[in-house]
A and B are shown apart, each in its own frame.
Chain A
Amino acid sequence: MKELRHPITRALYGIDPETGLVRIQDRGRVGIYSAKGEWRSGDVLDVDPEMCVWVGGPQPSAQYTKTFKTV
Chain B
Amino acid sequence: MNKVDRSLHVPAVDPDAFYERVCKADSRPVPEVLRESHPFPGGQVTVPVERYTSREYHNLEVERLWKKCWQMACREEEIPQIGDTHVYEIASMKFIIVRTSPTKIKAYANSCLHRGRQLVDCDGRYGELRCPFHGFGWDLEGRLAKIPGAWDFEIDPETWRLPEAQVGTWGGFVFINPDLKAAPLGDFLGDIDKHYARYPLQDRYISGHAAKVVPTNWKAAQEAFMEAFHVQGTHPQLLPQSANTDYKYDCYGNYARAIGVNFIPSIWASENPNEQQMMDAAMDVRLDEKPTVIVPDEKTARLQTAHLARQAVSQFIGDAADKMSDTEMVDSFFMNIFPNIHPWAAYSRITFRFRPYKDDPDRSIQDVYILSPFKGERPPAAKVRWLSDDEDWTQAPEIGGYLARIINQDLFNMQPGQDGMKSSVRGYLTFSRYQESKIRHFHSLMDKWVDQSGPSERPSGISNTAGR
Q: Is A17 an interface residue (CB 8 A)?
A: no
Answer whether residue A60 sits at the interface, using C-beta atoms and an 8 A cutoff. yes
Instruction: Determine whether the beta carbon of B308 is less than 8 Å from that of A70.
Output: no
Question: Hey, what's the 0/1 contact readout for B233-256 against A, CB within 8 Å counting as 1?
Answer: 111110110000000000000000
Contact check: which of B233, B240, B286, B370 meets A2 at CB < 8 Å? B286
Q: In this assembly, does A20 line the interface, its C-beta being within 8 Å of a C-beta of chain B?
A: no
Contacts of B412 in A (CB 8 A): 36, 49-50, 53
Contact yes or no, A67 B309, CB < 8 A: yes
Confirm or deny: B284 has a beta carbon within 8 angstroms of a beta carbon on chain A. Answer: yes
Question: Chain B: which residue is nearest A1 at the CB level?
Answer: B288
User: Is the CB–CB distance between B236 and A7 below 8 Å?
Assistant: yes
Q: B8 interface residue, CB < 8 Å from A?
A: no
Q: Is B332 an interface residue (CB 8 A)?
A: yes
Minimum distance in angstroms from B295 CB to a CB of chain A: 12
- Residues on B with beta carbons closer than 8 Å to the beta carbon of A65: 312
Nearest-CB distance from A65 to chain B (Å)? 8
Given contacts A4-B287, A48-B236, A60-B401, contact A70 B394 (CB under 8 A): no
* Given A36-B412, A57-B408, A70-B370, A3-B392 contact (CB < 8 Å): no
Which B residues are CB-close (under 8 A) to A49?
412
B232 lies within 8 A of A64 (CB): no
CB distance from B400 to the nearest CB of A (A): 4
A4 near B309 with CB under 8 A, answer no
Q: Tell me the residues in window 34-64 of chain A with beta carbons closer than 8 Å to chain B beta carbons.
A: 36, 48-51, 53-54, 57-64
Q: How many residues of A contact B (CB 8 A)?
A: 34
Contact A50–B283 (Cβ < 8 Å)? no
Query: Which of B45-53, B97-105, B142-150, B265-273 binds A?
Result: B265-273
Q: Given A50-B412, A71-B406, are A4 and B286 neighbors across the interface (CB < 8 Å)?
A: yes
In Å, the complex CA distance between A39 and B268 comes to 25
Q: How far is the CA of A1 from the CA of B412 in the complex (A)?
A: 24
Please give, as numbers and ranges, the residues of chain A lying within 8 Å of B408 by CB-CB distance.
53, 57-58
The minimal Cβ–Cβ distance linking A29 to chain B, given in whole angstroms, is 18
A5 surroundings in chain B (CB, below 8 A): 287
Contacts of B232 in A (CB 8 A): 8
Complex-state Cα separation, A27 to B70, whole angstroms: 55
Query: Does B276 sit within 8 A of A, measured CB to CB?
Result: no
B292 at the interface (CB under 8 A from A): yes
Q: B348 contacts the other chain (Cβ, under 8 Å)?
A: yes
A-B contact count (CB 8 A): 116
> Is B25 interfacial (CB-CB < 8 Å)?
no
CA distance A58 to B268 in the complex (A): 26
Contact B239 A7 (CB under 8 A): yes
| Inter-chain contacts of B400 with A (CB < 8 A) | 62-64, 70-71
Chain A 1-27 interface mask (CB, 8 Å, partner B; 1/0): 111111111101010000000000000
A70 adjacent to B234 (CB under 8 Å): no
Contact B312 A67 (CB under 8 A): yes
Report the minimum CB–CB distance from B317 to chain A (whole Å): 13
Chain B interface size band reads 35 or more
Task: Given A7-B268, A36-B412, A66-B292, check contact A51 B402 (CB 8 Å).
Answer: no
Q: How far is the CB of A9 from chain B (nearest CB, A)?
A: 8
Known A60-B401, A62-B401; judge A8-B239 contact (CB<8 A): yes
CB distance from B347 to the nearest CB of A (A): 8
Determine how close the nearest CB of chain B comes to the CB of A35; give it in whole angstroms.
10
Cβ B271 vs Cβ A50 within 8 A: no
Report chain B residues within 8 Å CB of A61. Answer: 401
Decide if A53 touches B409 in the complex (CB within 8 Å). Answer: yes
Point out the residue from A8, A9, A10, A68 that lies within 8 Å of B312, measured CB to CB. Answer: A68
The chain A residue with its CB closest to the CB of B286 is: A2
CB distance from B209 to the nearest CB of A (A): 14
A36 contacts across to B, CB distance below 8 A: 412
Give the distance to chain A from B356, nearest Cβ to Cβ, in Å.
26
B355 is an interface residue with CB less than 8 A from chain A: no
**A58 near B394: Cβ-Cβ < 8 Å:** yes
Task: Check A57 against B394 for contact (C-beta < 8 Å).
Answer: yes
Residues of A close to B305: CB separation below 8 A: 69
Residues in chain B near residue A9, CB distance under 8 A? 270
Contacts of A57 in B (CB 8 A): 392, 394, 405, 408
- Chain B interface (Cβ < 8 Å from any Cβ of A): 232-237, 239-240, 266, 268-271, 281, 283-284, 286-289, 292-293, 305, 308-309, 311-313, 332, 348-350, 370, 392, 394-395, 397, 399-406, 408-409, 412
> What are 20 of the A-B contact pairs (CB < 8 Å)?
A3-B286, A3-B287, A7-B239, A7-B269, A8-B239, A53-B409, A53-B412, A57-B408, A58-B392, A58-B405, A58-B408, A60-B397, A60-B404, A61-B401, A62-B284, A62-B400, A63-B400, A64-B401, A69-B309, A71-B406
In addition to A7-B269, A50-B235, A66-B292, 5 A-B residue pairs with Cβ atoms within 8 Å of each other are: A61-B401, A62-B401, A62-B405, A64-B400, A71-B350
